[in-house]
Structure 1
Amino acid sequence: MNTKELAQQLNGTEYPLRPSAELKEQAKVAGLVIVYGASDDLMDFDGAIYDELGCYEGGIAFVDEKGLLPERKNIEDDEELKEFFSRQPKAKSIEAVFDEDDYTWLYKTDIPHETFEIVSDGEKYCKGMVFSLADIYR
């Protein structure tokens, strides 16, 4: 499975997106990450990264080959802080954009990716994306 094939499978799904356990596992094994919006304040990650980020009205996530970096403001432990500062300069950003181009959520990044559309009652809801962990540093 590659990014294009996975995005095609997800395209046109109804909100809320609930990828099957089998699809999540296939994505994980292939090193693929699914990014999509949930509610009015979450950026969800499934597949090779399983996590979420609070981003009410938008926000920025940082990812690297190890996964989603924690939010700086939530780090209290010195060892976690050291790890954050060692990872952050090489991490790539994914911007969650709220309420643009008729979508509740869409995402912007320099990471090579494919997009897919989630609909709600036949209307645009989210323009999600799929990327490969291997492509983070391309």
Structure 2
Amino acid sequence: MTKEELAAQLDGIQYPAHRAITKEHIAAAKEAGLVIVYGASDDLMELDGASREEIGCYDGGIALIDLQGVLPDRDSLEEDDEIAEYVLRKRQAKTIEALWCKEPGYSWTYKTDIPHATFEVMEDAENYCRGIVFSLTELDTLNPA
């Protein structure tokens, strides 16, 4: 499955997206190395599929991601080896910026240099979120951040 195919399957799902994204979608995303990104509430960036994470981002925020998945919050690291690993991973990590109410008609949109496909999450008949789908394997082909 490609990122475009999965995004097409997800396009038009209803909020809350975590209820509309099925176990089959998640299994297919994992198998294909794809990550689904969408917003929840007014303070969460959700990632599902090949990397699963919930990131607090009230009023917007940034996630760092590499081939291993989402980097941990730097402030949560205490051990020297954890910090050293974080520094190494951060050099190759790409960013996904969660934008809260920055585009007319959307609560959540995302900005990233990672090649991706988009899908719409609806709340009743209104746009709620423009989610993205990307491939972890494509991160390896991008220039270092």
- Counterpart Cα distance in 2 of 1:14 and 1:21: 16
The residue aligned with 1:9 is 9
Task: Please state if 1:115 is matched with 2:115.
Answer: no
- Counterpart Cα distance in 2 of 1:98 and 1:110: 18
- Counterpart Cα distance in 1 of 2:23 and 2:82: 30
Secondary structure of residue in 2 paired with 1:100: coil
- Counterpart Cα distance in 1 of 2:101 and 2:75: 25
The residue aligned with 1:51 is 53
Task: Please state if 1:104 is matched with 2:107.
Answer: yes
- Counterpart Cα distance in 1 of 2:13 and 2:102: 19
TM-score (ref. length: structure 2): 0.92
Tell me how far 1:77 sits from its aligned partner: 2.0
- Counterpart Cα distance in 1 of 2:77 and 2:58: 20
- Counterpart Cα distance in 2 of 1:119 and 1:100: 17
Q: How does 1:34-49 map to 2 (within 5 A)?
A: 34-49=36-51
Q: Where does structure 1 differ by over 6 angstroms across 4 or more consecutive aligned residues?
A: none
Tell me how far 1:71 sits from its aligned partner: 1.2
C-alpha RMSD of matched pairs (Å): 0.8
The residue aligned with 2:35 is 33
**Once the two structures are aligned, what percentage of the paired residues are identical?**
53
Tell me how far 1:21 sits from its aligned partner: 1.2
Task: Describe the superposition over 1:9-35 as per-residue Cα deviations: whole angstroms up to 9, x where unpaired.
Answer: 000000001211121011000000000
- Structure having the higher strand fraction is 1
- Counterpart Cα distance in 2 of 1:79 and 1:22: 37
- Counterpart Cα distance in 1 of 2:8 and 2:78: 41
Tell me how far 1:60 sits from its aligned partner: 0.5
Task: Describe the superposition over 1:60-84 as per-residue Cα deviations: whole angstroms up to 9, x where unpaired.
Answer: 0000000000111221222211110
Q: For structure 1, which runs of at least 5 residues remain unmatched after alignment? A: none
Task: Please state if 1:125 is matched with 2:139.
Answer: no
Q: For structure 2, which runs of at least 5 residues remain unmatched after alignment? A: none
TM-score (ref. length: structure 1): 0.97
Secondary structure of residue in 2 paired with 1:103: coil
